[in-house]
């Protein structure tokens, strides 16, 4: 209900409501976007665009139930459009396709994060986009598989399968670190 109230207030131009929504969701959205595009600056730009769209939208009152879901969907769609645009502008043959354009970056060029996580993001970047999206949305975005399936236009089974494939691939990519893992240290 609080989100609905915030949207109602935002619709009336309330600055505090905007700040509250921003504080509540911005960083997590940036984290999700960064996980998907492997670049914090681009992620910040994408999230900023999503907030600008929210402000300019005349149909804010239609976002009734789930503001978080709405904002996350907007981020995902923007990233998809960005990827589509990249592909259209630089068409490549199937042989040239790499798992991700950002995967070729060195860990230092990757997401601006602590060193221990750079390898993780580098590995995530190597996942096929659908798997990457599912893993990030479920773990970082705390979205249910049903919601992700709805967003991706697939069945829950497909989403679950993408998630499992994604985690398995990450496990093999991060093999050495996984072996060092001791649950007591977490």
Partner 1 sequence: MGSAEYIKRLIENAKIKINPEVRKAALSELINELEQTKNADSVKLKPNIGRTIMNSKILKLAAATVIIIAILIGINQLSNGNAAFADVIEYFQKHSYTFDLEGLTMKPIHAMVWEMGRIRIDYPPAVEVGDYSSITDFNNGQTLLLFHQDKTAVMKKEPAYKSLGTEEIISLCTRPIAELWNVLDGAEEYLGEKVIEDQRVSGFRISKENQNFEYDITVWADFKSGLPVMVETITKSFDKSYPTITTTMENFNLDVKIDENLFSLDLPPEYTLAYQEDLENLEVDTKLSVEAGKIVQMLDLALEDRKEEAIEVLLEIDWLKPIEFGKEPYIFSISEKEYKALKAEDQKRVDEEVSADQTIIREISEDVLNLGQKAVDDQQYEKAEKYFNAGLQLGKLLEQNPNTMVIPRLVGLAIERNASKEMIQLYTIINDNEKVREAQNQLSKAEAEVDKIREEAKQINQ
Which residues contact partner 1 by CB under 8 A? 1-2, 4-5, 8, 10-13, 15, 18-19, 22, 26-27, 30-31, 34-35, 40, 43-44, 48, 51-52, 55-56, 61, 64, 111-114, 117, 120-121, 124, 135-136, 139-140, 167-168, 170-171, 174, 178, 181, 183, 186
Separation CA 16–CA 22 (nearest Å):
10
Q: Which is nearer to partner 1, 91 or 183 (CB)?
A: 183
Q: Which is nearer to partner 1, 96 or 114 (CB)?
A: 114
CB of 183 to partner 1, least distance (A): 7
Q: Which is nearer to partner 1, 96 or 108 (CB)?
A: 108
Query: CB neighbours of 30 closer than 8 A, spacing ≥ 6?
Result: 40, 43, 44, 47
CB of 153 to partner 1, least distance (A): 24
Would you give the distance in Å from CA 18 to the centre of its chain? Answer: 21
Separation CA 167–CA 80 (nearest Å):
21
Q: What one-character-per-residue DSSP string does 81-112 give?
A: HHHHHHHHHS---GGG--S-GGGGS-GGGSSS
CB of 87 to partner 1, least distance (A): 26
């Amino acid at each position: 209900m609080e989100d609905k109230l915030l949207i109602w207030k935002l619709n009336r131009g309330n600055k505090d409501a905007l700040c509250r929504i921003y504080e509540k969701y911005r960083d997590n959205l940036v984290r999700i976007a960064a996980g998907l595009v492997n670049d914090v600056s681009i992620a910040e730009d994408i999230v900023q665009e999503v907030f600008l769209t929210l402000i300019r939208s005349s149909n804010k009152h239609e976002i009734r139930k789930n503001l978080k879901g709405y904002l996350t969907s907007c981020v995902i769609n923007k990233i998809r459009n960005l990827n589509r645009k990249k592909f259209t502008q630089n068409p490549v043959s199937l042989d040239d396709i790499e798992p991700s354009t950002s995967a070729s970056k060195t860990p230092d060029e990757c997401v601006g994060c602590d060193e221990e996580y750079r390898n993780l993001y580098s590995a995530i970047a190597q996942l096929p986009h659908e798997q990457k999206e599912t893993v990030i949305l479920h773990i970082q975005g705390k979205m249910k598989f049903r919601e992700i399936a709805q967003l991706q236009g697939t069945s829950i089974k497909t989403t679950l399968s993408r998630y499992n494939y994604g985690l398995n691939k990450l496990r093999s990519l991060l093999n050495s670190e996984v072996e060092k893992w001791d649950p007591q240290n977490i």
